[in-house]
Chain A
Amino acid sequence: MIKERKVNITPDMTWRELTPGGVIQDAGNAEDFKTGDWRSMRPVWNTEKCKHCLLCWVVCPDNSIKVEDGKMTGIDYDHCKGCGVCTAQCKFGALDYVPEE
């Protein structure tokens, strides 16, 4: 779902419609692009083991740990690159690290 932007940059736009030099006029538009599709490993969240310490949220370099009201709610696989940092630091075994299939 693409949000309303000043310019919604989409792959069907012609060269006349695109912004010069690829200028991005909106902050935070990474949300519009699925950049997690080249992941070879993925973190898997075990809800029952999770203590919601949110250290995974702290270390994630891509803002891919979803949190609501101070509690983890899931993983944003559209943007997670599968780097494994969250799984390596988890002290409770709540994040497995498994190959993508």
Chain B
Amino acid sequence: MAKRVSLSGNEAVAQAMRQINPDVVAAFPITPSTEIPQYFSQFVANGQVTTEFVPVESEHSAMSACIGAAAAGGRVMTATSANGLALMWEMLYIAASSRLPITLAAVNRALSGPINIHNDHSDTMGARDSGWIQLYGENAQEAYDNFIMAVKIGEHPDVQLPVMDCFDGFITSHAVENLEMLEDEEVKAFVGENRVAPYALIGQEPVSMGPLDLPPYYFEHKRQQAEAMKNAKRVILEVAAEFEKLTGRKYGLFEEYRMEDAEAAIVILNSSAGTAKAVVDSLRAEGKKVGLIKIRVFRPFPAEELAEALSKVKAVAVMDKADSFSAAGGPVFTEVRSAMYGRADGKIVVSYIYGLGGRDVTTNQIEKVYNDLFSAIETGKYEVYNYVGVRE
């Protein structure tokens, strides 16, 4: 039976790690993800888990140790943020291309510089092409749930890819919220007691991993990765259906909030979706046809499904808590607009960059975006690439 608890996002994820009891956790502290390995090392010290905890000297080493342990056949986890994720960069690609299902709690924080420890999505958005599956969560409950599902998704025989559980630094990681925690046995039964690795350095049939991959082979291995990512979309939904049976909580590729008959819609990730939902409710109370889509799965990108969900609206604002400095719009915007091309044509699709470096995201800002959309629908005049919440 599930129990109601009050935990911060970091605590909830550390508890999920304890319940899973992985073989190896290798981590290096960095704000705002520090608490996850901190809590977890206490579980290790208390004998509550049998995990080998590897306190490494950098995030590059953390991911390297995770890769080594996963190659050995272990179930492996870590946590990081911002510059820590950046320092892992080289190894992120190696984890994915070696097809090692590592679970990473990516506590979103602005990537320096200028140096800043607060929330935005510049860290994980930069890692979007590393070959990792990326799940995004609005609150502590979703961070906890996604972390447990991540293990099962990544380890699925048709996937075999590493997974990031992304949630907002401080806003979700440090705020204490009420959530439902599963029983330890339920989590263990859901993810399985041990990882079943198709190939492992340790075991009856040892293998070589990560060999030099020259032009006759590299291309084919990348094609395999692309196929695994396509498979992941199906597996994510299968795992979500199984999770729903266990918990009653329903997860998809994205969440649609009051999208029926919506004319103006916002597409957004993580905690700001909560703020935006409050705006949707108040505008709906005024009779305005507004809706919201919160993307949960950014990698693989649910292109067809999003285009379908946006096929009835007149205008869409895609809100990015990171700029890709293409000078043409944020990263989520670029992909959403591309997904709509040929599937949901003739819409107004605009980009809003918001909340960089932990700038507070207010209901006024979100309301302005909806008002801008209605004015664009009315006049046909609008800017594609916008900043909101910045001092003009």
Are the CB atoms of B227 and A21 closer together than 8 Å? no
Residues of A within 8 A of B (CB-CB), count: 14
B98 touches A21 (CB 8 A): yes
Given A21-B209, A22-B211, A24-B207: A14 in contact with B98 (beta carbons within 8 A) = no
Q: Is the interface of B mostly helix, strand, loop or mixed?
A: loop
By the criterion CB–CB under 8 Å, are A11 and B217 in contact? yes
At the interface, yes or no: B216 with Cβ under 8 Å from chain A? yes
Question: Contact at A21–B220, with CB atoms within 8 Å?
Answer: no
Give the docked Cα–Cα distance between A22 and B221 (Å): 7
**Contacting A25 at CB < 8 Å: which of B100, B199, B228?**
B199
Q: Which residues on the B side are within 8 Å of A1 (C-beta)? A: none
Q: Is the CB of B207 within 8 A of A23?
A: yes
Q: Inside 8 A of A19's CB, which chain B residues have their CB?
A: 199
A18 surroundings in chain B (CB, below 8 A): 217, 220-221, 224
Q: Which residue of A lies closest to B99 (CB)?
A: A21
Bits for A26-69, please: 1 = Cβ < 8 Å to B, else 0. Answer: 01000000000000000000000000000000000000000000
A14 vs B221: C-alpha distance when bound (angstroms): 10
Partner of B213, one of A13, A14, A15, A22: A22
Assuming the contacts A20-B198, A21-B210, A22-B210, asked whether A13 and B220 have C-beta atoms less than 8 A apart, the reply is yes
When C-beta atoms are compared, the residue in chain A nearest to B213 turns out to be A22
Question: B228 to chain A: which residues have CB within 8 Å?
Answer: 20
Task: Indicate the member of A13, A20, A24, A25 with the most B CB atoms within 10 Å.
Answer: A20
Inter-chain contact A24/B220, CB cutoff 8 Å: no
A11 to B227, CA, bound (A): 20
Contacts of A22 in B (CB 8 A): 209-211, 213, 217, 221
Looking across the interface, which residue of chain A has its beta carbon closest to that of B198? Answer: A20
Interface contact A23-B224, CB-CB below 8 Å: no
Q: In the bound complex, what is the Cα–Cα distance between A18 and B228 (angstroms)?
A: 14
Smallest CB separation, A19 vs chain B (Å): 8
Minimum CB–CB distance for A46 against chain B, Å:
34
Complex-state Cα separation, A20 to B96, whole angstroms: 11
* Nearest A residue to B220, CB-CB: A15
Q: Which residues of chain A come closer than 8 Å to B223, judged between CB atoms?
A: 15
Q: A22-B213, A23-B199 are in contact. Are A15 and B207 (CB under 8 A)?
A: no
How distant is B184 from chain A, measured CB to nearest CB, in Å? 32
User: Are B221 and A21 in contact, with the CB atoms below 8 A?
Assistant: yes
Shortest Cβ distance from B289 into chain A, in angstroms?
Answer: 46
Residues in B with CB closer than 8 Å to A13 are: 220
B208 adjacent to A21 (CB under 8 Å): no
B33: interface (CB < 8 Å): no
A18 to B199, CA, bound (A): 14
Contact of B119 with A by CB under 8 A: no
- Report the Cα distance A11→B210, complex, angstroms: 17
B160 within 8 A of A: yes
Q: List 20 A-B contacts (CB under 8 A).
A: A9-B217, A11-B217, A15-B220, A15-B224, A18-B217, A19-B199, A20-B99, A20-B198, A20-B224, A21-B209, A21-B224, A22-B209, A22-B210, A22-B211, A22-B213, A22-B217, A22-B221, A23-B207, A23-B208, A25-B199
Chain A interface (Cβ within 8 Å of chain B)?
A: 9, 11, 13-15, 18-25, 27
Given A23-B199, A27-B206, 9 more A-B residue pairs with CB atoms under 8 Å apart are A9-B217, A11-B217, A14-B220, A15-B224, A21-B209, A22-B210, A23-B207, A24-B211, A25-B199
Taking Cβ atoms with an 8 Å cutoff, the residues of B that contact A are: 97-100, 160, 198-199, 205-211, 213, 216-217, 219-221, 223-224, 227-228
- Top 4 nearest A-B pairs by Cβ distance? A15-B220, A24-B208, A11-B216, A15-B223
